[in-house]
Amino acid sequence: MDGISPNGRVDYSIKASGLTIPQQALPAWSVALLPTDIDLNFGGANIDLDTMARKTIEAFDLNKNPSLPDAFGKALVEDFKAKKPKIVFGHSTVKNGGIEVAMEGEVYFPDSKKADGSMTIDVAGYDRIVDALKEAAKSDEQMVQAFPFALAVKGFGKTLPDGRLEWVINTKADGSIVVNGAMLKGPDKVQDDSAGQDDNSSGDDGANRTDNSTGGADSDGGDNGGAGAKLQP
């Protein structure tokens, strides 16, 4: 961590090898999938802790209850996102025997509200995962659904020269998800706000009709000089 600054960065790393997990309470098929070695690297960038600290100090008042305004937290989050912070996943691996899962990517906020993200995942020994789930499906009802899902995921994968399977996943603020260039999910439906505007305009038209009818009554009188009045010789 590089301290409090307008553009701070923080990095964490977790490493462990030779992990053993008690297997008594676990189904036999899951043992082949339990990780034995992990190397996780993650952190954040463009983190404006300086502004957050200053605004908190300025707004904090022990003479008030609560000491911070109710809307302060929401405003602070919006200010934090406005700096476009990024959650960064450095190259990380999880291993178990002939299975290795590697990943890296980042998540950021381009419009300060919804997140964009990209993640690359590659797996060595994916067929071993599928085989374990296939075996599990024989005795575990939940795995009956997981097995075909694993096959579908494999179908989206790209085979690398070394035999590993790779998935490049891109998510956008509009809700769309693209995997290896193929659209998995389209953008979310945009809410149409024009309906309310149309209703208002209809109301205005109604008011105009009322005014016109009033004007018609005045013109019948002939002496009010309205827009429809005729000049008298």
Ranges of each domain in the chain = 8-48+83-185
Mean pLDDT over the full length of the chain: 78
Helix 72-82 × helix 49-59 angle, to 10°:
160
pLDDT tens-place string over residues 9-65: 788 899 999 988 887 778 888 888 889 999 999 998 877 767 777 777 877 777 777
Q: How far apart are CA 9 and CA 5, in angstroms?
A: 9
For residue 226, pLDDT beyond 90? no
- 95: tokens are 């291993």
pLDDT in the model for residue 227: 41
pLDDT in the model for residue 127: 94
DSSP 3-state of 44:
strand
For residue 68, pLDDT beyond 70? yes
- 192: tokens are 């149409």
pLDDT in the model for residue 111: 67
pLDDT in the model for residue 194: 58
Contacts of 104 (CB under 8 A, 6+ apart): 89, 90, 91, 92, 119, 120
pLDDT tier at 196, thresholds 50, 70, 90: low
Residues pairing with 118 in the sheet: 106, 170
